[in-house]
């Protein structure tokens, strides 16, 4: 079984322009994410999945600099981009991570792969962790099926194709540690306030060469709850946007 972590990232963004290239502690946001994903033990590789737009050439340079693979495909159709990467690298299973999710947890990436090996589920995710911490595991066969039946080219939000259609075997991971079970907290980079939120956490926890853990992040947030106020005002705006993008269109 061959698996990979696929990072969906572009420089195009209307809410926070070129957010993947914003710097924290002297490194771009996307490089911090790559460092975190490298901690995962089970994936065979990491693939940066971006568009064919010349604007995204800089992301390919970053992939090469950091020793990871890359794939270039559709700008808006994230699922087609993932499928193209899976076919290029002959993958059986992919773990999909958004470039916005700086604190995606490598331990749960390994748990997703372990769950796939045990259950052969088509789609594996976790709804009990903070938003932006978990990833989505997809069997490539199931991904190919969705790409064949969907009638939508904008797949920024795609989970419903797997969880709401009744066509696939789905597994939801449980979180045993109460300290980590905080689905009400959002840790995604979408707005300027989110950037300030991430910068504050890095100021508190970052040390060169050390990837701080989810447990360290959650301990900090529980001890210094004022950090959660930094991006609180944009939470509703985020939820409204996601609700508009959550649509399933199946070919007739």
Quick one: pLDDT at residue 27?
A: 97
Would you kindly state where each structural domain of the chain is located, as residue ranges?
Answer: 3-245
Mean pLDDT, to the nearest integer, of 140-156? 93
pLDDT digits (tens, 9 = 90+) for 16-62: 989 999 999 999 999 999 999 999 999 999 999 999 999 999 999 99
- Lowest-confidence range among 160-174, 175-189, 232-246? 232-246
pLDDT digits (tens, 9 = 90+) for 59-111: 999 999 999 999 999 999 999 999 999 999 999 999 999 999 999 999 999 99
Mean pLDDT, to the nearest integer, of 166-188? 96
Quick one: pLDDT at residue 243?
A: 62
pLDDT digits (tens, 9 = 90+) for 185-197: 999 999 999 999 9
Task: List all residues 6 or more positions away from 145 whose beta carbon is below 8 Å from its beta carbon.
Answer: 167, 168
Quick one: pLDDT at residue 25?
A: 97
- In the structure, what pLDDT confidence band is assigned to residue 244 with cuts at 50, 70 and 90? low
Helix (H) or strand (E) holding 24: strand 23-24
Neighbours of 8 (CB within 10 A): 23
Q: Is the pLDDT of residue 245 over 70?
A: no
Contact assessment for residue 182 and residue 218, using Cβ atoms and an 8 Å cutoff: yes
Pairing of strands 3-8, 93-98: parallel
Quick one: pLDDT at residue 12?
A: 87
Quick one: pLDDT at residue 152?
A: 85
pLDDT digits (tens, 9 = 90+) for 199-241: 999 999 999 999 999 999 999 999 999 999 999 989 877 777 6
- In the structure, what pLDDT confidence band is assigned to residue 15 with cuts at 50, 70 and 90? confident
Quick one: pLDDT at residue 252?
A: 75
Helix (H) or strand (E) holding 170: strand 170-172
Quick one: pLDDT at residue 236?
A: 77
Q: Can you give the three-state secondary structure of 36-55, one letter per residue?
A: HHCCCCCCCEEEEEEECCHH
Contact assessment for residue 23 and residue 29, using Cβ atoms and an 8 Å cutoff: yes
Quick one: pLDDT at residue 14?
A: 74
The better pLDDT of the pair 94, 153 is held by 94
For domain 3-245, the CATH superfamily is Spore Coat Polysaccharide Biosynthesis Protein SpsA; Chain A (3.90.550.10)
């Amino acid at each position: 079984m061959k698996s990979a972590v696929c990072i969906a990232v572009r420089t195009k963004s209307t809410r926070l322009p070129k957010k993947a290239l914003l710097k924290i502690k002297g490194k771009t946001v996307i490089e911090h994410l790559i460092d975190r994903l490298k901690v995962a033990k089970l994936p065979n590789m990491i693939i940066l999945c971006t568009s064919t737009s010349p604007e995204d050439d800089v992301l390919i340079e970053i992939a090469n600099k950091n020793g990871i693979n890359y794939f270039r495909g559709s700008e808006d159709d994230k699922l087609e981009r993932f499928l193209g990467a899976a076919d290029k690298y002959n993958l059986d299973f992919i773990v999909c991570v958004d470039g916005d999710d700086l604190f995606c947890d490598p331990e749960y990436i390994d748990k997703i792969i372990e769950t796939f090996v045990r259950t052969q589920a088509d789609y594996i995710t976790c709804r009990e962790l903070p938003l932006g911490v978990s990833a989505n595991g997809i069997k490539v066969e199931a991904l190919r099926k969705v790409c064949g039946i969907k009638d939508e080219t904008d797949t920024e939000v795609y989970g419903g194709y797997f969880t709401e259609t009744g066509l696939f075997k789905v597994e939801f991971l449980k979180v045993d540690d109460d300290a980590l079970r905080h689905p009400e907290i959002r840790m995604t980079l979408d707005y300027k306030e989110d950037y300030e939120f991430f910068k504050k956490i890095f100021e508190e926890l970052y040390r060169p060469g050390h990837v701080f853990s989810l447990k360290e992040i959650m301990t900090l947030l529980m001890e210094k709850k004022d950090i959660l106020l930094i991006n609180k005002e944009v939470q509703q705006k985020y939820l409204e946007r996601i609700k508009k993008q959550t649509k399933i269109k199946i070919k007739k």
